[in-house]
Chains A and B, each alone.
Chain A
Amino acid sequence: MSKLNTYREGPDETGHFGIYGGRFVAETLMPLILEVDKAWKKAKDDAAFWDEFNRYMKHYVGRPSPLYLAERLTAEFGGAKVYFKRDELNHTGAHKINNTIGQILLARRMGKKRIIAETGAGQHGVATATVCALFGLPCVVYMGETDVRRQRPNVVRMKMLGAEIVPVTAGTGTLKDAMNEALRDWVANVEDTFYIIGTVAGPHPYPAMVRDFQCVIGNEVREQMMEAEGRLPDTCVAAIGGGSNAMGLFHPFLDDEGVRLIGVEAAGHGIETGEHCASLNGGRPGVLHGNRTYLLQTEDGQILDGHSISAGLDYPGIGPEHSWLRDTGRVDYVYATDDEALAAFQLCTRKEGIIPALEPSHALAHVAKIAPDLPKDHIICMNMCGRGDKDVDAVAGYLGMD
């Protein structure tokens, strides 16, 4: 593919990034999707909307999140300088709240009275339940039965915040089934309900809208890195499930040729075992949940379940813009296994006193692979997109701790 003047213009009017994206939904939903698109276009160009968004980012979420030089890890790796973008310090403990604040402000503008969401690890569910409590709207969260069991602390948090949790037994009871069930709810409650999708996937305008809310991450990094180092980072690294934290970090740097961008997928037990969630490294293009994108699927086009130690990466698809960025070659997509992520989790905890979520532990696992061989003046910025409080029981189990 020839080099583009900009990588930041997409999607086109019909929601496509190259061949990816689109609006593959049932007719019952289509008028609604168009309504969301129209409302989003209007809000996006309205300074008052962004003033409100920024006010909540600052005073409620606690932004800007710090940019932190991880000195002990930098010394440990013995190469590149490693910075963490501390999005795990946000209210509710992850980057997800950036998006749920944005979407609920839009839902309020549209006069919607009821909020639904899907969740895997529960971080998006918690972030949605939180903003629903904040604005006094009823909230229904669909969560795979398997995830309800393995992410109990987040289930309790959501309930305390007043959300109704619907365990999904359909299909295989994981994130993709939760998303199917949320879409079924939306089809049945089109008049009053707004669906807050948690990642940069789904029918247009969701991939672009969620990206625009999450871009607060990369925009802050640009400013903070200029202040800290007087220049942009050489490499940005982020974990990828659906891909919202990575898109938020990468997008503001897409047109900076000198900045290398690396997305880290979850390789589970290893790509070669088939038990992984690496859609870009181990899947192929298909159509699911309203968009065309890389998917884990059989030869017959049936969707496969992902596997990852991290419930938040356990999704057989990925945002369509990532699929396009992969094909254009602008972003490199690599992977880290469960074991590598667990090792990085422990290293970060012991060396920096930061307990990372299992999701960014995958990103750190890749940083650990590349940093030692890079020169000392090379700057890496990794998105620490979530904190690991929710994972401590699971990790203790894996490590055989009492």
Chain B
Amino acid sequence: MTTQTGPETRITRKFAQLKAEGRAGLVTFLTAGDPTPQLSEDIILGIAEAGADLIEIGMPFSDPMADGPAIQASSLRALKAGMTLPKALGIVRSFRKRDDNTPIVLMGYYNPIYIYGVDRFLADAREAGVDGLIVVDLPPEEEGELCLPAIAAGLNFIYLTAPTTDDARLPKVVRHASGFVYYVSITGITGTRSADAADVAASVARIRKYTDLPVGVGFGIRTPDQAAAIAKVADAAVVGSALVDVIAENRDAAGAPLPGTRDKVLDLVKALAGGVRGARS
């Protein structure tokens, strides 16, 4: 069992609060800049009020190899609309002017960070109000690249664990994890299939043998009912592709966003939050 030793952030405070309230949290994922930089910012600014407990913001990448069609398309839309890593940090800064409590996690792939410069990125992310990082293609084997510098800079580095992460490997994965542990509930890419809640419960229990960090579960959670089922057995449910799909579906023939897109995304967030909050009552 590893005791939590990473930096204290809005993430650690939020999970402490959720524990006191006796409920699980809702983590929402959206890609920064999707479908346009402005609309993306508008949606994210309203997402905490709609019920998101933690906000995961995707930094778009041209080659998102762990993502399914929905998030791939979302990244391409954002890049086409001119989104960049500095602009994604700009969205975080705007959010922080209104809300200094809701944790923000940046999620992405390593190359754009590497090109921006690791030290510069960590300084700018922290200054913007980022609390944690999920970088899909940095397993513990590459922890020297970003994980250890991030911890030194006061950010949580959130590790993914998967069904393939066996008991021999789990201690290595959670060793430098902080904030929470993200359990990828299926062997596969985002938004493709859904895990059985009973299997997830067993896997979360297995992870808890090795860490006292909160466990968030993602990949394949689309509906309020699914979110509620996960909220019964884990500390947080992560929803991404289903939200991104709302953005994809609400565009005209030329790809421009339709009026009302923001409200439709936030309505789904409200419904998901309802599922998560009512799960254990």
Contacts and interface: CB of A to CB of B under 8 A. Distances in A.
A18 to B, nearest CB: 15
Interface string A117-152: 000000000000000000000000000000000000
A303 B60 CA distance: 12
Interface stretch (A209-217, A282-290, A389-397): A282-290
A191 B163 CA distance: 11
A224 interface: no
B interface SS class: loop
A interface SS class: mixed
B85 interface: yes
A8 interface: no
Interface residues of A, number: 36
B169 interface: yes
Interface stretch (A23-31, A234-242, A359-367): A23-31
B234 interface: no
B42 interface: no
B164 A31 contact: yes
Contacts of B65: 26, 180, 183-184, 289
B133 to A, nearest CB: 14
Contact of B63 (A26, A32, A176): A176
B110 A30 contact: no
A297 B116 CA distance: 12
Contact of A303 (B63, B116, B137): B63
Interface stretch (B185-193, B236-244, B261-269): B185-193
Given A288-B111, A302-B79, A188 B187 contact: yes
Contacts of B61: 301-302
Nearest to B135: A24
A187 interface: yes
B85 A14 contact: no
A26 B164 CA distance: 11
B44 interface: no
Interface string B65-91: 110110010001001000011000000
Nearest to B69: A170
A300 B63 contact: no
A183 B65 CA distance: 7
Nearest to A182: B65
Interface of A: 14, 22-32, 170-171, 176-177, 180, 183-184, 187-191, 286-290, 295, 297, 299-303
25 contacts: A23-B142, A25-B137, A26-B66, A26-B162, A27-B139, A27-B164, A27-B173, A28-B160, A28-B163, A28-B164, A28-B184, A171-B62, A171-B72, A183-B65, A187-B188, A187-B189, A188-B189, A189-B187, A190-B164, A286-B114, A287-B110, A288-B63, A289-B65, A300-B115, A301-B112
Given A31-B166, A31-B169, 5 more contacts: A25-B139, A26-B136, A27-B139, A170-B69, A300-B112
